[in-house]
């Protein structure tokens, strides 16, 4: 198998993350449910962005960056984890966030305050304005800077989740289904490409928690990541499934998402979040109820983190 030798990583987290069987949920849903504990990636409060950041910050470091910019919503887990990782590496994070959602010192905002991070809000709905602002601030600083896109979802960040499937294989785990939340797309695209390369028997389903054109986004990231790896694979929309779990809107809790958070908490003692993992797990429950899984199917749920938001989003 091919190695991602061309692309360096910095070590930020603790890998491999555990895979656990969910006994009570398996019984309740009539299939074999496992969880990949990417909420335990070992920095901040854990979460999926750490795998992407190991690639992105290695690139930033190689380019001599001293300031790391990124963006997202006010309660972005990605922004918080980027700040934590940049701090650990001795770089200066500057977060320019969309002024939407909870901007009070709660949840991820509190964590950023504890890290002493420079957090700015921009009243815009267009990330293009924010990337321009990063250039303005970066150039004014006179220091070398590096811009990480929303969610860390570019081709390089996507490699983190290609690696995750490789890691699963190395853990000796084969699955029929892999289920994740899809917010900016890199996680899903990485898993779908990783499954193609390392676990072709696994069907990947992305539970969409926002209203972006995810089929297009996933395909583009899969193709770009495959090109970075130099692997010749034919990528098409048949490689994955998508399901709409957005409900009342991005970062707004849904009834089914909240029920899924409660089910995981009360049956397994694990905490999901209302923005991503709760909605994604609601999608898994819905698929089980529709008969999408056979009793002996092995279904892997990616716990992608989100603990920071759990304490800030109204449920």
**Other CB atoms within 10 A of residue 138 CB:** 19
**Is residue 93 within 8 Å of 86, Cβ to Cβ?**
yes
The Cα-based distances of 160 to 50, 56, 174, 293 in angstroms read 8, 9, 19, 27
Instruction: For the CB of residue 186, give the shortest distance to ligand PLP in the complex, in Å.
Output: 4
Residue 182 near ligand PLP by CB under 6 A = yes
Taking Cα atoms as reference points, which of 275, 291, 191 lies closest to residue 241?
Answer: 191
Q: Which is nearer to ligand PLP, 153 or 205 (CB)?
A: 153
- 76 catalytic per annotation: yes
75 near ligand PLP, rule: CB under 6 A: no
For position 183 contacting ligand PLP by CB under 6 A, the verdict is yes
The span from the CA of 284 to the CA of 260, in Å, is: 9
- In the region spanning residues 108 to 147, those forming contacts with ligand PLP, defined by CB under 6 A, are none
Strand partners of residue 47? 305
Strand order in the sheet with 145-147: 118-122, 92-98, 67-70, 145-147
- The answer to whether 153 contacts ligand PLP (rule: CB under 6 A) is yes
Q: Which of 70, 71, 109, 304 binds ligand PLP (CB under 6 A)?
A: 304
Quick one: which of 31, 32, 154, 277 contacts ligand PLP (CB under 6 A)? 277
**Count of positions on this chain that bind ligand PLP (CB under 6 A):** 20
Rounded least distance, CB 226 to ligand PLP, Å: 17
Among the listed ranges 26-34, 120-128, 282-290, 300-308, the one in contact with ligand PLP (CB under 6 A) is 300-308
**Based on CB atoms, which residue is closest to ligand PLP, 50 or 263?**
50
Distance (Å, whole) CA 118 – CA 299 = 41
Q: Tell me: does residue 151 bind ligand PLP (CB under 6 A).
A: yes
Check residue 44 for interaction with ligand PLP (CB under 6 A).
no
126: alpha, beta or left, given left = phi > 0 and alpha = psi -120 to 50?
beta
Task: Give the binding site for ligand PLP (CB under 6 A).
Answer: 47-48, 77-78, 151, 153, 181-188, 273, 276-277, 304-306
């Amino acid at each position: 198998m091919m190695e991602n030798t061309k692309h360096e990583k910095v070590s930020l987290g603790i890998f491999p993350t555990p895979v656990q069987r969910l006994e009570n949920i398996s019984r309740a849903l009539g299939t074999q449910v496992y969880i990949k504990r990417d909420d335990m990636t070992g920095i901040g409060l854990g979460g999926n962005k750490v795998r992407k950041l190991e690639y992105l910050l290695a690139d930033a470091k190689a380019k001599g960056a001293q300031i790391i910019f990124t963006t997202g919503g006010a309660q972005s887990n990605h922004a918080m984890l980027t700040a934590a990782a940049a701090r650990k590496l001795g770089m200066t994070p500057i977060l320019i966030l969309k002024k939407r959602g909870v901007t009070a010192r709660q949840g991820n905002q509190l964590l950023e305050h504890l890290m002493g991070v420079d957090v700015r809000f921009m009243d815009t709905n267009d990330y293009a304005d924010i990337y321009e602002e990063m250039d303005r601030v970066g150039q004014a600083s006179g220091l070398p800077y590096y811009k990480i896109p929303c969610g860390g979802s570019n081709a390089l960040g996507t490699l983190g989740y290609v690696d995750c499937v490789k890691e699963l294989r190395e853990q000796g785990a084969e699955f029929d289904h892999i289920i994740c939340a899809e917010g900016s797309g890199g996680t899903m695209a990485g898993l779908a490409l990783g499954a193609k390369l390392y676990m072709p028997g696994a069907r990947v389903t992305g539970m969409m928690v926002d209203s972006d054109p995810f089929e297009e986004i996933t395909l583009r990231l899969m193709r770009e990541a495959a090109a970075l790896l130099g692997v010749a694979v034919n990528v098409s929309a048949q490689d994955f499934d998508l399901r709409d779990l957005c409900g009342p809107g991005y970062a707004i809790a849904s009834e089914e998402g909240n029920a899924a958070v409660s089910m995981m908490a009360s049956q397994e003692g694990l905490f999901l979040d209302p923005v991503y993992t709760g909605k994604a797990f609601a999608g898994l429950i819905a698929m089980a109820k529709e008969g999408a899984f056979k009793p002996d199917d092995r279904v892997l749920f990616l716990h992608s983190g989100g603990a920071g938001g759990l304490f800030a989003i109204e449920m």
